[in-house]
A and B are shown apart, each in its own frame.
Chain A
Amino acid sequence: MKTLRRDFLKIAAVAALGWGVRPAAELMAASGGGKSEGLFFASRHAVHAGPNALKATRWAMVIDTAKLTEEVVAAAVTVCHTTHNVPNIPGNQELKWLWETSMEHLFLDNHHEYQPEAAAKSALALCNHCDNPPCVRVCPTKATFQREDGIVMMDFHRCIGCRYCMAGCPYGSRSFNFKDPRPHIEKIDLDYPTRTKGVVEKCEFCAERLAEGKLPSCVEVSEGAISFGDLDDPESEVRQLLSERFSIRRSPYLGTKPCVYYLV
Chain B
Amino acid sequence: MYDKNKILIGLAVFVVLMTYPFWNNIGSAAYQRPVLEKPKFAKECVEGVEFMRTEHMSMLNEWRDEVVRGGDHEYHSTATHQVFQKSLSKTCMKCHENKEQFCDKCHATVSVNPYCWDCHIDPKGENK
Interface residues of A (CB under 8 A from B): 45-50, 53, 145, 147, 153, 155-157, 182, 188, 190-191, 193-196, 207, 211-212
Q: Is B121 among interface residues, defined by CB-CB distance under 8 A?
A: yes
Given contacts A191-B89, A196-B119, contact A145 B71 (CB under 8 A): no
**Residues of chain B in range 93-128 having any CB-CB distance to chain A below 8 Å:** 118-121, 123, 125, 128
B38 interface hit (Cβ, 8 Å):
no
Contacting B119 at CB < 8 Å: which of A45, A46, A156?
A156
19 A-B residue contacts at CB 8 Å?
A: A45-B70, A46-B71, A48-B66, A48-B70, A48-B71, A50-B74, A145-B69, A147-B71, A153-B69, A155-B68, A188-B125, A188-B128, A190-B121, A193-B89, A193-B121, A195-B119, A207-B71, A211-B71, A212-B73
Interface size, B (range):
10 to 19
B44 CB-CB contact with A under 8 Å: no
CA separation between A153 and B71, bound complex, in Å? 10
| Chain A residues, CB < 8 A from B69 | 45, 145, 153, 155
Q: Smallest distance from the beta carbon of A51 to chain B beta carbons, Å?
A: 9
Q: What 5 A-B pairs are tightest by C-beta distance, nearest first?
A: A47-B71, A48-B72, A193-B119, A193-B120, A196-B118
Docked complex Cα distance between A188 and B69 (Å)? 24
The prevalent SS among residues of B at the interface is loop
Docked complex Cα distance between A116 and B120 (Å): 48
Write the chain B residue with the least CB distance to A194: B119
Residue of B nearest to A145 (CB): B69
Q: How far is the CA of A212 from the CA of B70 in the complex (A)?
A: 15
Residues of chain B lying within 8 A (CB to CB) of residue A45? 69-71
B90 at the binding interface (Cβ < 8 Å): yes
Taking CB atoms, residues of chain A closer than 8 Å to B120 are: 193
Given contacts A153-B68, A182-B128, A188-B121, 19 further A-B contacts (CB under 8 A): A45-B70, A47-B70, A47-B71, A48-B66, A48-B71, A48-B72, A49-B71, A49-B73, A50-B74, A53-B73, A147-B71, A156-B119, A157-B64, A191-B89, A193-B89, A193-B120, A193-B121, A195-B119, A207-B71
User: What is the bound-complex CA distance between A212 and B66, given in angstroms?
Assistant: 15
Minimum distance in angstroms from B126 CB to a CB of chain A? 11
